[in-house]
């Protein structure tokens, strides 16, 4: 039996650009076959970071070779700081230097940093090459590898330069998560919990009972990845370019992205940690605006804290700028429309909604209070 026979497959229904997300333990060693079946007679560039490359590039390269796909590796430094113009140039020019044609493929082997950067390089090299996501962090398996948001950060803010460019295939080998650090595993868990908090209270309740199985690699892990991918695939198919409901996937991100920018996209706060704090703040701010009960914020914080995630501004090491500074950063959010703020707020666990025209003075007063907590 090939690994693909015991795989969960989730379809992202985007018409003639539809693609599969393959989920299962051990898929990396058959990745070449899975790619060759869908994208025959291609050559590939494999972009990875130094940490993931040392652990998993050999398995992928062997599998590509066995399937008749010649490949060249392109390695970047690990971490959020690589999502920048300089690394984008290095990766894009390496793809061109390898003389890959438009019909060839670029493979992202790594977490969300590698995936977002590689996807953007694939979107602009030769005006658009096909690409395959092989996500290796929990966060990238449940979120960033799906949906086609690609891009980089700038000093002005998070993901402010990029393109929508869908992958042709996503291969999520849940076994490779065994080598992920506990901190990065927990960070990815924040985006898993997000799907429950947006519109699936039963999933959030299930997570409260079963989160340990996800971390330890039991069958709960595949269930959580597949449930997350199904939820994301549904939203993306309905609103690929975020003209409406896709913005719900930004729950916790308006606060979280401002915190990532304020900490210089450094190891002080990784993306999933910013999202965890941001989701708690979104529930607390919703309660402050009388949109939900304060108990919802207490429940969300209790769960994320029990998993080991940061949940408060005071959990960010090294201090934060004042509320006015954070508001400047929030003002760069891509959901800002005609100068007014859009937040994802909530009527309770699993009842998130898009709130337009949120008063900046109320947000700033709330942040001032939380910074003093
Ligand atoms: N495009 C989207 O829809 C989307 C969605 C969510 C997040 N993102 C972006 O994703 C990024 C965060 O992704 P991330 O959390 O995966 O971060 P990451 O890519 O930095 O990976 C986290 C760390 O784990 C290491 N790593 C990854 N897989 C590993 C493995 N199997 N074994 C050992 N180490 C491994 C990496 O080397 C890195 O040091 C952010 O830039 C965020 O903005 C994008
Ligand atoms: O796919 C989406 O849409 C998301 O919002 C998923 C988020 O988890 C992710 O962090 C995304 O990159 C944020 O998008 P942005 O448009 O706010 O930069
Ligand atoms: Zn995110």
How many C-beta atoms surround the C-beta of residue 244 within 10 A? Answer: 11
* Burial of 354 (C-beta count, 10 Å sphere; 0-12/13-18/19+): middle
pLDDT at residue 140 greater than cutoff 90: yes
Which residue among 149, 283, 303, 329 is the active-site one?
A: 149
Cβ atoms of 12 and 233 closer than 8 Å:
yes
What pLDDT is attached to residue 6?
Answer: 82
Mean pLDDT of the chain: 97
What pLDDT is attached to residue 279?
Answer: 98
Question: DSSP code of 6?
Answer: G
Cβ atoms of 188 and 54 closer than 8 Å:
no
Tally the residues of the chain. Answer: 373
Which residue among 191, 220, 260, 301 is the active-site one?
A: 191
- The predicted model gives 222-226 an average pLDDT of 97
What are the CA-CA distances from residue 316 to residues 5, 34, 270, 303 (Å)?
44, 41, 10, 18
- For the entire predicted model, the pTM comes to 0.98
Task: Return d(Cα 318, Cα 80) in angstroms, integer.
Answer: 18
What percentage of the chain reaches a pLDDT higher than 90?
98
pLDDT at residue 4 greater than cutoff 80: no
Q: Is 149 in the pocket of ligand 2 (CB under 6 A)?
A: yes
- The predicted model gives 128-151 an average pLDDT of 98
**Residue keyed to tokens 């390898």:** 98
- The predicted model gives 191-203 an average pLDDT of 98
pLDDT at residue 144 greater than cutoff 80: yes
Cβ atoms of 159 and 144 closer than 8 Å:
no
What pLDDT is attached to residue 3?
Answer: 54
Task: Return d(Cα 144, Cα 96) in angstroms, integer.
Answer: 25
Closest CA to 150 of 128, 119, 191, 127: 119
* Burial of 314 (C-beta count, 10 Å sphere; 0-12/13-18/19+): middle
Residue 219 Cα to ligand 2 midpoint, Å, equals 27
Residue 191 labeled ligand binder: yes
| 3-class DSSP state of 343 | strand
**Two tokens at 192?**
């898993």
Atom 34, ligand 1: residue with shortest CA distance: 180
pLDDT at residue 302 greater than cutoff 80: yes
Sheet holding 8-12, edge to edge: 8-12, 19-24, 169-173, 130-135, 105-110, 44-49, 71-76
Q: pLDDT digit string (tens) for 53-101?
A: 999 999 999 999 999 999 999 999 999 999 999 999 999 999 999 999 9
Q: Which atom of ligand 1 is nearest to the CA of 113?
A: 19
How many C-beta atoms surround the C-beta of residue 151 within 10 A? Answer: 20
What percentage of the chain reaches a pLDDT higher than 70?
99
Task: Return d(Cα 164, Cα 242) in angstroms, integer.
Answer: 10
- The predicted model gives 174-182 an average pLDDT of 97
Residue 251 Cα to ligand 2 midpoint, Å, equals 9
- The predicted model gives 311-326 an average pLDDT of 97
Task: Return d(Cα 131, Cα 115) in angstroms, integer.
Answer: 10
- Beta strands, E only, 123-236: 130-135, 149-154, 157-164, 169-173
Cβ atoms of 197 and 206 closer than 8 Å:
no
Q: Which atom of ligand 1 is nearest to the CA of 82?
A: 20
Kindly provide the ipTM of the predicted complex, given to two decimals. 0.99
Task: Return d(Cα 113, Cα 321) in angstroms, integer.
Answer: 25
Task: Return d(Cα 98, Cα 269) in angstroms, integer.
Answer: 35
Task: Return d(Cα 216, Cα 110) in angstroms, integer.
Answer: 20
Could you give the angle at the alpha carbon of 303 between the alpha carbons of 297 and 307, nearest 5°? 140
What are the CA-CA distances from residue 102 to residues 16, 20, 46, 147 (Å)?
18, 21, 15, 21
What are the CA-CA distances from residue 20 to residues 35, 46, 220, 289 (Å)?
11, 19, 21, 41
pLDDT at residue 203 greater than cutoff 90: yes
Strand 130-135 versus strand 169-173 pairing type: parallel
Q: pLDDT digit string (tens) for 257-283?
A: 999 999 999 999 999 999 999 999 999
What pLDDT is attached to residue 1?
Answer: 45
* 43 is a catalytic site residue: no
């Amino acid at each position: 039996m090939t690994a693909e026979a015991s795989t969960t497959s989730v379809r992202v229904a985007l018409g003639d650009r539809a693609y599969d997300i393959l989920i299962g333990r051990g898929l990396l060693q058959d990745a070449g076959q899975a790619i060759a079946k869908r994208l025959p007679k291609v050559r590939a560039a494999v972009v990875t970071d130094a940490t993931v490359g040392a652990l998993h590039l050999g398995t992928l390269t062997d599998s590509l070779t066995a399937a008749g796909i010649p490949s060249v590796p392109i390695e970047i430094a690990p971490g959020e700081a690589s999502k920048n113009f300089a690394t984008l140039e290095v990766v894009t020019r390496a793809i061109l230097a390898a003389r890959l044609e438009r019909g060839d493929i670029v493979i992202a082997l790594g977490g969300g940093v590698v995936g977002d950067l590689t996807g953007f390089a694939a979107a602009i090299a030769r005006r658009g090459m096909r690409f395959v996501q092989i996500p290796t962090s929990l966060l990238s398996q449940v979120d960033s590898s799906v949906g086609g948001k690609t891009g980089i950060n700038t000093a002005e803010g998070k993901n402010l330069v990029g393109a929508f460019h869908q992958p042709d295939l996503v291969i999520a080998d849940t076994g490779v998560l065994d080598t992920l650090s506990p901190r990065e595993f927990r960070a990815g868990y924040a985006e898993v919990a997000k799907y429950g908090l947006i519109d699936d209270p039963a999933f959030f309740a299930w997570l409260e009972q079963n989160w340990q199985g996800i971390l330890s690699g039991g069958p709960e892990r595949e269930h959580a990845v597949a449930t997350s991918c199904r939820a994301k695939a549904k939203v993306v198919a309905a609103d690929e370019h975020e003209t409406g409901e896709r913005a719900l996937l930004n729950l916790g991100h308006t606060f979280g992205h401002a915190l990532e920018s304020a900490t210089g996209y450094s190891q002080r706060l990784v993306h999933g940690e910013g999202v965890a704090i941001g989701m708690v703040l979104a529930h607390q701010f919703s309660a402050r605006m009388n949109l939900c009960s304060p108990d919802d914020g207490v429940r969300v914080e209790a769960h994320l804290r029990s998993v080991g995630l940061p949940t408060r501004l005071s959990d960010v090491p090294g201090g934060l700028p004042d509320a006015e500074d954070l508001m400047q950063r929030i003002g760069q959010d891509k959901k800002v429309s005609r100068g007014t703020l859009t937040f994802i707020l909530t009527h309770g666990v699993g009842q998130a909604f898009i709130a337009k025209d949120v008063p900046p003075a109320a947000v700033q007063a709330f942040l001032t209070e939380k910074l003093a907590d």
